[in-house]
Amino acid sequence: MPAILPVPRYAPDHFINRELSLIAFNRRVLAQAADERVPLLERLKFLCIVSSNLDEFFEVRIGGLREHIRLGARGVTSDGRSAQEALRLIAAEAHQLIAEQYSLLNDVILPLLEKEGIVFLRRGNWTEAQHEWVRDYFTRELMPVLTPIGLDPSHPFPRVLNKSLNFAVELEGRDAFGRSSRFAIVQAPRALPRVIKLPKELTGVDHGFIFLSSAMHQNVGDLFEGMNVLGCYQFRVTRNSDLFLDEEEVKNLRQALQGELPQRHYGDAVRLEVADNCSEQMADFLLQQFSLTRDDLYRAPGIVNLVRLMQVPDWVERPDLKYPPFVPQVPRTMEKRYDIFAMIRKQDQLLHHPFQSFKPVIDLVQQAVDDPDVVAIKMTVYRTGTDSVLMEALVRAAQKGKEVTVVVELMARFDEEANINWASRLEDAGAHVVYGVFGYKTHAKLLMVVRREQVDGVQRFRRFVHLGTGNYHPRTARFYTDFGLMTANEQIGEDVNEVFKQLTGLGHAGTLTHLWQAPFTLHSSVIAAIGQEAENARAGRKGRIIAKMNSLVEDETIEALYAASQAGVDIDLIVRGVCALRPGVPGLSENITVRSVVGRFLEHSRIYHFHADGEEKLYLASADWMERNFFRRIEVAFPVLDPKLKRRVMKEGLRPYLLDNSQSWEMEPDGRYRRRVSRAARHCAQDTLLAEYSRNGL
């Protein structure tokens, strides 16, 4: 069941609407597609990312609001709006954003691609030879797998999969049985390509494409022999994709989830996309079938699923139209065969992805698998992918008889199926697989290796741990900015072991020495650290906070930041996505700035820095400052204790982003964002880090 909107504890005008802030983030992503400094094929990708983000936005955020209304629940958002009022504003903003997106595609991106010999051929301009090729392709590749469904009393409106491509066909005439159905539906199987490449000799360009929808429009009459096709219109429905499991009813989480996953494809409809040529009659008919209103209808002047264009850059060998390739750097000390345990034992190791390779994390697990002195490996898994080398290594470790414990988060949204499959494989190999604590997602990124070692002539166990801000996912580690810390610090090892005890066993939570842990101490520790900065400022000492995260929406944390600002604390927030805090409001937040950096890599690291009267406390974390992370997830924030590594995080993870005047956006008090520009030399944080790592290895 979706969270019930609470009664606001604070003044509504202190907060920006969460959903509207998320739409504002997607405007910043769309600005990357409009930026002429970005390589052309990368601009196309950013355009597609907006569509992918909006899909999830409707599936989750809008789905939740509509479910809230359906249940008749009361309450308002933090900014004082009812769910109905919020939905109306969101719909208006979403319609405008999507209109801008298609305008950019049709008027800018596609014409520029055409100049580069990358052409999407419009059906009205096809040559006779192209018509013949498409007709033959339709007959060979499409027609055998298409199932036209004429709508009549014996053929009701079919169940339409979430986000699937479909065609609504208007007909006249009678079929072989004398039936005269006016409407038919043709569902395009997901196995069919949405973009089709034509032979070069037919197009005269290096890369000539057509859309599946064009092939369907030209040949759909072949599916309705003897009838007259009046119109053929693409449509796509987005559905609520949240999974609802009743804690009191669930006896086996994996089995319950396996039973629930297929229903995700058929949740309540929340959005209908149709081609802009769709007749009003057909649009009204489809809206009625899905119980939607006109506000939920989105007309697309082009294909209705731009996400499918994401494949095109991979098909086009044009390095000049893409970002320059880069190779993530391996620390110099790890370039040749090395003993990773000796390295970690000697000193803490810090990795900064994607500028540095994820390979040392893989090496830690693989060396642990093959090391006869390693007796146990424990790891949390949130997102790891369907073909994870780390999971394969854990399977091998279990098969070799090592104690392997894996905390698999089955409720990692849209990764549930992959995680279920890994859980099954790990169990079959003999690993201990647990699913954390029901009702609390295990989002912490923890890896612990227990090794038998000789210390002063005495044999003892030593813990080697890795803690991260990002997932154990080698592929996304090439595109997300994250930090990972490897340490043999005994107290941190004890803390991590305590967290694993909580996740696998029962009992009261033990006291942790260094880690801040949600849902127990993370929120109160953050509030206390902010409050201490305020006290220091009121006492005439320096107060300074720099924090970097994906989202900032938790009310009490925002109010604590307001209080610190009023006390004179200088606060810089680097928030990539949703931010409900209003910066720069006189008397409330004039000492707070909010920046968002959107660039080649997805900014994903969470860093909390507090001046702490000169102590310079710095934490890396898996958690954003959101209610769910503080209270409904198992998260950890971990300190960087080595002064040298602490300076590195400041140098690489915070200061470049405060200086960025290329990909940085500053938030205004009303929630709008202004691109940061400067007459000074251009400074791009991501480009600077890429250059420094390529040049120096760092």
Weakest-pLDDT range from 177-181, 306-310, 476-480, 606-610? 177-181
Question: What is the pTM for the complete model shown?
Answer: 0.92
Q: Is the same domain home to 299 and 353?
A: no
Residue 265: which pLDDT band, with cuts at 50, 70 and 90? low
Identify the three-state secondary structure at position 696.
helix
Q: How many CB atoms neighbour CB 320 within 10 A?
A: 9
Note the pLDDT of residue 266. 67
Place of tokens 């109306």: 88
Q: Is the same domain home to 442 and 337?
A: yes
Q: Is the same domain home to 525 and 593?
A: yes
CATH assignment at residue 208: 3.30.1840.10
Q: 277-294 pLDDT, tens per residue?
A: 999 999 999 999 999 999
CA dist., res. 594 & res. 674, Å (int): 11
178: left (phi over 0), alpha (psi -120 to 50) or beta: left
Q: Is the same domain home to 450 and 312?
A: no
CA dist., res. 633 & res. 171, Å (int): 52
Extract the annotated binding site for ATP: 53, 480, 576, 604
Q: Which of 454, 481, 506 is the last residue of a domain?
A: 506
Q: Which residues pair with 450 in a beta bridge?
A: 376, 463
For residue 512, being part of any structural domain is answered with: no
Instruction: Kindly tell me the sign of the dihedral angle through the C-alpha atoms of 65, 67, 72, 73.
Output: negative
Extract the annotated binding site: 53, 383, 413, 480, 576, 604
Note the pLDDT of residue 677. 82
Q: How many CB atoms neighbour CB 173 within 10 A?
A: 14
Catalytic residue among 207, 352, 443, 609: 443
For residue 532, being part of any structural domain is answered with: yes
Q: Is the same domain home to 598 and 649?
A: yes
Number of domains, the chain: 3
Q: 541-573 pLDDT, tens per residue?
A: 999 999 999 999 999 999 999 999 999 999 999
Residue 414: which pLDDT band, with cuts at 50, 70 and 90? low
For residue 540, being part of any structural domain is answered with: yes
For residue 394, being part of any structural domain is answered with: yes
Extract the annotated binding site for Mg(2+): 383, 413
Note the pLDDT of residue 408. 87
Note the pLDDT of residue 83. 85
Note the pLDDT of residue 175. 66
pLDDT (average), residues 85-94? 93
Q: 165-207 pLDDT, tens per residue?
A: 999 999 888 765 556 668 899 999 888 889 999 999 999 999 9
Q: Is the same domain home to 571 and 472?
A: no
For residue 607, being part of any structural domain is answered with: yes
Q: Is the same domain home to 498 and 551?
A: no
For residue 634, being part of any structural domain is answered with: yes
What tokens appear for 44 in the block?
């196309």
Residues 182 and 188 sit within 8 Å (Cβ to Cβ): no
Nearest to 59 by CA among 304, 311, 413, 410: 413
Q: Is the same domain home to 439 and 559?
A: no
Instruction: Give the mean pLDDT of the chain.
Output: 90
Q: Is the same domain home to 146 and 282?
A: yes
Residue 567 CA, chain-centre distance (Å), reads: 36
Q: Which of 506, 525, 550 is the last residue of a domain?
A: 506
Q: How many CB atoms neighbour CB 401 within 10 A?
A: 9
CA dist., res. 362 & res. 334, Å (int): 12
Q: Which of 506, 527, 544 is the last residue of a domain?
A: 506
Query: Residue 311: which domain range?
Result: 12-321
Cα separations (Å) of 120 from 110, 369, 652, 681?
Answer: 8, 50, 41, 39
For residue 6, being part of any structural domain is answered with: no
Share of the chain above pLDDT 90, in %: 73
Q: Is the same domain home to 380 and 488?
A: yes
Q: 231-246 pLDDT, tens per residue?
A: 999 999 999 877 444 4
Note the pLDDT of residue 374. 97
Q: Is the same domain home to 368 and 315?
A: no
pLDDT at residue 208 tops 90? yes
CATH assignment at residue 603: 3.30.870.10
Instruction: Kindly tell me the sign of the dihedral angle through the C-alpha atoms of 284, 288, 293, 295.
Output: negative
pLDDT (average), residues 364-369? 97
Note the pLDDT of residue 247. 44
**Residue 437 phi, psi (nearest 5):** -115, 120
265 is catalytic: no
**Extended strands (E) in 240-388:** 269-275, 297-300, 349-353, 374-381
For residue 593, being part of any structural domain is answered with: yes
Q: Taking the CA of residue 110 as centre, how many other CA atoms within 13 Å lie in the half-sphere pointing to its CB?
A: 18
Name the strand (E) or helix (H) holding 685.
helix 685-696
Note the pLDDT of residue 179. 60
Place of tokens 């205004």: 668
pLDDT at residue 258 tops 80? no
Nearest to 192 by CA among 147, 127, 157: 147
pLDDT (average), residues 201-217? 94
Weakest-pLDDT range from 235-244, 306-315, 453-462? 235-244
Q: Is the same domain home to 305 and 432?
A: no
For residue 354, cis peptide bond before it (omega within 30 degrees of 0): yes
DSSP 238-267: EE-------TTT-S-HHHHHHHHGGGGGGS
pLDDT (average), residues 434-456? 90
